[in-house]
Structure formats: C-alpha cells, structure tokens
Amino acid sequence: AGLFFLKHAEAVEKDVSAREVHQMLLLSLQWLSGSITRSQP
C-alpha cells in the first residue's frame, strides 16, 4: 500500500500544485488524528 501511495503521489504532483498537495496532506492528518481521538475510550 505504501509503495502504491508513493507512485500515486508522484503522478498527482505532476498535475496538482504543491499548495493543493500540502492542503490535502493537512486534511488527511487532521482526519487521522480525529479518528484516533474518537477511537480512544
């Protein structure tokens, strides 16, 4: 999965600006941290 994500990210970077990629990463981190927080008792 990690290798596939890296290859996909390289292809996306060619079409998407660095700012949009950075924004998507921030949103992903926020979603992950939110999911982890909700899963804790």
Whether 21 and 13 have beta carbons less than 8 Å apart is answered as yes
Long-range contacts of 13-17 (CB under 8 A, 24+ apart): none
Q: What is the spatial distance between Cα 8 and Cα 4, in angstroms, rounded to a whole number?
A: 6
> In Å, how far from its chain's centre is CA 36?
15
pLDDT for position 7 = 79
Please, which residues have CB within 8 angstroms of residue 9's CB and are 6 or more apart in sequence? 21
For the chain of 41 residues, list the mean pLDDT of each consecutive stretch of 10.
Answer: 75 73 90 83 68
Instruction: Locate the domains of the chain by residue range.
Output: 1-33
Angle between helices 18-39 and 2-15 (to 10 degrees): 140
